[in-house]
Amino acid sequence: MAYTNQPSILNCSITDIPQLRNRNRVFRNHQHAAEALATLLESHQHTDTLILGIANSGIPLAVTLAETLGLGSDIAVTKKLTFPWDKHTAYGAVAFDGSVYLNEEVISHSRLDQTAVTKSILENHEKVRLEQPQNRYGFSELADRNIILVDDGIATGATMQATIQALRKQNVKKIIIAAATGCQNSLNRLAALTDKLYCANIRDDFPFTIGDAYQIETDISIIDAFNSLTKQWPENKLPDNTSRPDPLPKQGIYHEHS
């Protein structure tokens, strides 16, 4: 599908593709979604901007975008904190540097007890420790760089928010979000935290499901994600399970009270 209309700037921070607004099943797959996103990001071609794909599903999009735009790509492992009874809805997240974001209003309304929250934080902290490469692929320094943070979709925005606060600690120059699909309310909140936000398919569905934007919904494992990354950087491989990085530093917990 060719996008003949000009991208629509919904406000000073958010740009979308107007033909795709409030529509379902607009992308054949992740490859198609990345191609749509690339049309919004052409101004970043062949710069020193770094694309960071959020594991797992953001990485294939990040690789395609990097190849299309002539940019470097890398991986940010951030894990959602989800309810025991609903693995698709996040109340927080653990970022690649070990920092934690919690939406206290969502937790309060759900009546999830603190023991369950703490247990989930510890479990996901360990997942991040095991999956985040000890040394980023050729990009150990993030300071003073423009970062395009990529994911296949934004529902609650918890994963993005945790990653944004982790990147701020790295003293990056600008943070730009690029998501294939996203919930309007969550995008509005995230736009206030970033320099620019691009989302090809913005929807105000309730309840919002990322998979509704795709004709073929695919679950991507961490191994699939790393294999995708080696397309751009053939020398890279999944970290050796026998040699783990040191434990992540304690970064504290950010509580959001809405």
Q: What is the pLDDT of residues 166-218, one digit of tens each?
A: 999 989 999 999 999 999 999 999 999 999 999 999 999 888 999 999 998 77
Report how many domains make up the chain.
Answer: 1
Extract the residue ranges of the chain whose pLDDT is less than 70.
1-12, 133-140, 219-258
Structural domain contains residue 213? no
Q: Which domain holds residue 83?
A: 12-202+218-256
pTM over 0.75: yes
Residue 117's CATH number: 3.40.50.2020
Structural domain contains residue 7? no
**Spatial strand order in the sheet of 72-77:** 8-9, 14-16, 196-203, 174-183, 146-151, 50-55, 72-77
Structural domain contains residue 223? yes
Structural domain contains residue 20? yes
Asked if 133 contacts 97 with a C-beta cutoff of 8 angstroms, the reply is: no
